[in-house]
Amino acid sequence: MENHSVSPAETKVNTADSPKESVTLRIYEEVLEDIRSGKLAPGSKLKVRDLSTTYRGSVGSCREVMNRLMGERFVESRGMTGFKVKGLSAVDFAEVHDLRDALEAHALRTAIDIGDTAWEENLILAYHRLTRGGGIEDDIVSREARHRNFHLALIDAGSSDWHKFYVRVLNLHGERYRRILLPKRIQNPDYVAEVDAEHRQLMELCLDRDADRAAVLLKRHRSRSRADLLNELHKLAPDS
């Protein structure tokens, strides 16, 4: 009989790697949240040693996080002097919005065409969590997470891993613009109720396999705050 036991050396390596990965992931999630919320303001400088102190991690872990966030376009390099939070601009927002529109529209039609019962069940569950979670104690972080998960559930059956990766990143960028520029609107109960009514319509059209109407509604839904965000961005930089 073959011996499949793990050697002491392997155990030591795995034990050492796991906490480091856990710390790096925690720092990544905390920094990303602070960027999305505006706590780390657009354009602000990021020094790895300062991040190490603030987020309670090693310099190496913080550098890994900066490199990952650079790849996701939330952070930019300042050459030999460190990093900075990516700025906001009308051009950048329009590109994020339009690219996400194109990716989601294609994936939605594919999902409606090939989605199975498991996809339908996951979509219904995501909608239920979106509209039932939080209550009076709801906060913007948990609401946006449920909102993001619902939109990913819409297209899940029609997306490759690459597709999901780019949609997720673009979704997070869009969330950053909303949270920084329209914080009062996205927490207004009347606005949330209107948006969730559209979410319900989207879910029902998907379950009815009505791809044409679902695609039209998704585009209208995604454009709901586009003009207002562009207006706010032009106020910040009239020439952008």
Arithmetic mean of pLDDT over the chain: 88
CA separation for the pair 73, 53 (Å, rounded): 23
User: Does residue 168 register a pLDDT over 90?
Assistant: yes
Domains identified in the chain and CATH numbers: 8-85 (1.10.10.10), 90-236 (1.20.120.530)
81, 73 in Cβ contact below 8 A? no
Summarize pLDDT for 14-41 with one digit per residue, the tens.
Answer: 334 567 789 999 999 999 999 999 999 9
Evaluated on CA atoms 205, 156, 70, 32, the torsion sign reads: positive
Q: How high is the pLDDT of residue 90?
A: 94
- pLDDT above 50 for 137: no
8 pLDDT above the threshold of 50: no
Residue 179 pLDDT class (50, 70, 90 cuts): very high
Place of tokens 């709901």: 224
Residue 79, pLDDT score: 82
Name the most confidently modeled range: 8-17, 162-171, 220-229: 162-171
Q: What is the pTM of this model?
A: 0.84
Please list the residues that pair with 83 across neighbouring strands: 46, 77
